[in-house]
């Protein structure tokens, strides 16, 4: 097991994680840290726990919003679609010429 130290606001937290997951955990910690200033203002600086609660609520709100967004349709390769249409038309034309 690896250990990563995350700094969120003025506090340092050492967290264990599986080997190889350190960078992922650091990115997650950076997400928390990026919300800290706004959360601290919202909690009126009452306590670190309350600030972390506000961070959790902000992230939960963002997750809820992302879950509510409609899924994006996969990108269509228009070149392939056009080539398919052209190929169909050529086949129809060739069939008519054979007749």
pLDDT at 60: 93
Encode pLDDT of 8-42 as tens digits: 998 999 999 999 999 999 999 999 999 999 999 98
Structural domain count of the chain? 1
The pTM for the full model equals 0.63
Contact between residue 51 and residue 43 where contact means Cβ atoms under 8 Å apart: yes
Give the range of the structural domain holding residue 57, as residue numbers without chain letter. Answer: 2-98
Encode pLDDT of 39-95 as tens digits: 999 888 788 899 999 999 999 999 999 888 887 766 777 777 777 788 788 887 777
Q: List the beta strands (DSSP E) in the chain.
A: 2-8, 11-17
């Amino acid at each position: 097991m690896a250990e990563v130290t995350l700094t969120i606001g003025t506090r340092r937290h050492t967290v264990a994680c599986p080997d190889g997951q350190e960078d992922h955990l650091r990115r997650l910690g950076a997400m928390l840290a990026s919300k800290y200033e706004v959360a601290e203002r919202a909690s009126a600086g009452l306590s670190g726990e309350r600030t972390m609660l506000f961070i959790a609520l902000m992230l939960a709100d963002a997750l809820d919003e992302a879950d509510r967004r409609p899924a994006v349709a996969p990108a269509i390769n228009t070149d392939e679609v056009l080539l398919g249409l052209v190929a169909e038309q050529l086949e129809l034309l060739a069939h008519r010429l054979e007749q």
